[in-house]
A = this chain, B = another copy of it.
Amino acid sequence: MSRDTTREAARRDALRATAAERGLDAVLVTNLLNVRYLTGFTGSNGALLVRADGDDLFGTDGRYTTQAGTQVPDVELVVDRSTVPALAREAVRRGSGRLGYESHDLTVDGLHGLERVLADAAAGGTVPELSSVRRAVEGQRAIKDDDEIEALRRACAVADQALAELAAEGALRPGRTELEVGRELDARMLALGAEAPSFETIVATGANSAIPHHRPDATVLRDGDFLKLDFGATVEGYHSDMTRTVVLGHAADWQREVYELVAASQAAGRAALAVGADVVAVDSAARDVIVAAGHGEHFTHGLGHGVGLEIHEAPGIGQLGAGTLAAGMAVTVEPGVYLPGHGGVRIEDTLIVTDDAPELLTLTSKELLVL
């Protein structure tokens, strides 16, 4: 029943190297997605102690003893209802002098509890010194390996297929409601093998399409309206993200104009995805197209974001972002123009940054579709 854990072992070694650079004897990983990334464990309660000497410890509660044995066969298991205190006690017992922790994940109460446990476990001896590792694991996660990219490909393919089937069946037609369309899209993705939708599916028609993150409601699809669909599927924990905007019945000139503008902006953004590109410059490449057309104020959000075990993760691509792109990053490119009270268009793909042109994972056509 054991699986190949080479991948996760290599990830722990990378974190171990970071810990060594920072003079830490061990790192306590509490963020559950980071724990999953470093161990393969998919349960709802787990923590990991990565130790400089290589003797790592994985903690979970009794519900997951069997699952941990299957998913994490290569890390010593500590079964305890309270995983963080249990691992903290082990860290003291094994003489960790400097202990890294995730200050962006641990709550204020969690830190106080950890400090108490360390002091108690030291029993008058040396209490380990706590030091944040910041987002070290998130930094690793930003670069996807082949298995992760394959999971993202499958997640994107499920979303492509679900939309294609609904369009072919005439499910996106006047008279239906946003909620009905959203639920069908979700159900179809599940039927096609998704574990879950990537996030609450956005279906926005008519004036609602001018609201960037409209929640689907009982609004009825009408002839001549925009229909904006922003959705994705989760496969093996990895999230796809795609937006397409179609027109129902027939497209008016203003709709074609807005659509072509956003499509041109999105193409410019995709073209700017390159190893070493600054994330602010990538955002600008797409934004400049919209600004030049006089619609800068109607593009009210950043251009894109990383996707992976989270729907939003590093890197952020926007004017407030920082850093450069690297090969293996999975990112979205999603400019939008929103005309309040009238309607809006967003076009979004998920892509992989490579040494050559980016690999497009969401393959649904970006021609203006009139349904």
Contact = CB atoms under 8 A, between A and B. Distances in A.
Nearest to A43: B213
A191 interface: yes
Interface string A349-364: 0000000000000000
Nearest to A106: B108
A132 interface: yes
Nearest to A213: B63
A80 interface: no
Copies in the complex: 2
A103 B106 CA distance: 10
Nearest to A194: B183
A186 interface: yes
A211 B107 contact: no
A183 B186 CA distance: 11
Interface stretch (A10-18, A195-203, A282-290): A195-203
B211 A66 contact: yes
Contacts of A107: 103-108
A63 B318 CA distance: 15
A196 to B, nearest CB: 7
A191 to B, nearest CB: 6
B196 A190 contact: no
A212 interface: yes
A327 to B, nearest CB: 29
A67 interface: yes
Interface string A46-71: 00000000000000001110110000
Given A190-B183, A196-B197, A213-B43, A62 B300 contact: yes
Contacts of A108: 103-104, 106-108, 110-111, 132
Nearest to A61: B301
Contacts of A111: 108
Interface in A252-300: 300
A191 B195 contact: no
A63 B301 contact: yes
12 contacts: A42-B215, A43-B213, A66-B211, A66-B214, A67-B215, A103-B112, A104-B108, A106-B107, A107-B108, A108-B108, A183-B190, A187-B191
